[in-house]
């Protein structure tokens, strides 16, 4: 499954020319992908937290970890030490494998999919977007989940601008929506 990494390596000269970069070490690349689920709705249900963690582990191909609240917040009914989310950070080969599955298998399975929004960049070339449900990934079976939940995906790049990050992700196959939403 080193297909996506090979694709990136073959795109380097094209990226360098399009972005007008003189030094090949400044060509933008993927640094990491972070998958996270805010599980505040499941704080008191340890089985549901474990099920979400197992689902994200299956999707990512790497063990996910539970995020524990550092402070108590009365307004959200959160006490220090309660589980409030699940996250996993992918780097290297696992990152490229996940990105490949995301753009080639999972995103095309989204109902009425018109592309991921173009406005998810943070000003530093990193891209954030959310998915409504975990069932778009083929490795997740409907019978194994207790509750449908969404997830946030952050693609961290070495790009120094949103334009460079956009060009990198578009060339790697990220299906951005048409228009300027």
* CATH code (residue 98): 3.30.1440.10
Residues of the chain with pLDDT under 50: 181
The answer to the question of residue 128 being in a domain is yes
**pLDDT of amino acid 36:** 92
**pLDDT of amino acid 95:** 92
Structure-block tokens of residue 31: 């640094």
Residue appearing with tokens 């089985």 = 47
Number of domains into which the chain is organized? 1
CB–CB of 61/89 below 8 Å?
no
**pLDDT of amino acid 2:** 63
**pLDDT of amino acid 152:** 93
The domain of 134 spans 3-38+86-171
The answer to the question of residue 148 being in a domain is yes
Task: Give the relative orientation of helices 92-101 and 3-19 as an angle to the nearest 10 degrees.
Answer: 90
The answer to the question of residue 113 being in a domain is yes
CB–CB of 68/79 below 8 Å?
no
The answer to the question of residue 109 being in a domain is yes
The answer to the question of residue 58 being in a domain is no
**Assessment of whether the complete model's pTM goes beyond 0.85:** yes
> 68 CB contacts (<8 Å, ≥6 apart)?
81, 82, 83, 84
**pLDDT of amino acid 46:** 81
Q: Nearest to residue 22, comparing CAs of 33, 31, 30, 13?
A: 13
């Amino acid at each position: 499954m080193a297909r996506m990494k090979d694709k990136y390596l073959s795109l380097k000269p094209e990226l360098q020319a399009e972005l007008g970069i003189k030094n090949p070490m400044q060509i933008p690349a993927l640094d990491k992908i972070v998958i996270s689920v805010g599980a505040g709705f499941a704080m008191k249900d340890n089985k549901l937290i474990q099920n979400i963690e197992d689902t994200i582990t299956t999707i990512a191909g790497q063990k996910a970890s539970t995020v524990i609240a550092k402070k108590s917040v009365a307004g959200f009914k959160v006490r220090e030490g309660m589980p409030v989310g699940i996250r996993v950070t992918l780097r290297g080969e696992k990152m490229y494998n996940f990105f490949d599955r995301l753009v080639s298998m999972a995103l095309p399975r989204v109902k009425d999919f018109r592309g991921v929004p173009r406005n998810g960049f943070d000003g530093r070339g990193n891209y954030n977007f959310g998915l409504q449900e975990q069932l778009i990934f083929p490795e997740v079976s409907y019978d194994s989940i207790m509750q449908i939940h969404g997830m946030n995906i952050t693609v961290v790049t070495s790009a120094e601008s949103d334009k460079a990050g956009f060009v990198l992700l578009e060339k790697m196959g990220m299906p951005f929506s048409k228009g300027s939403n």
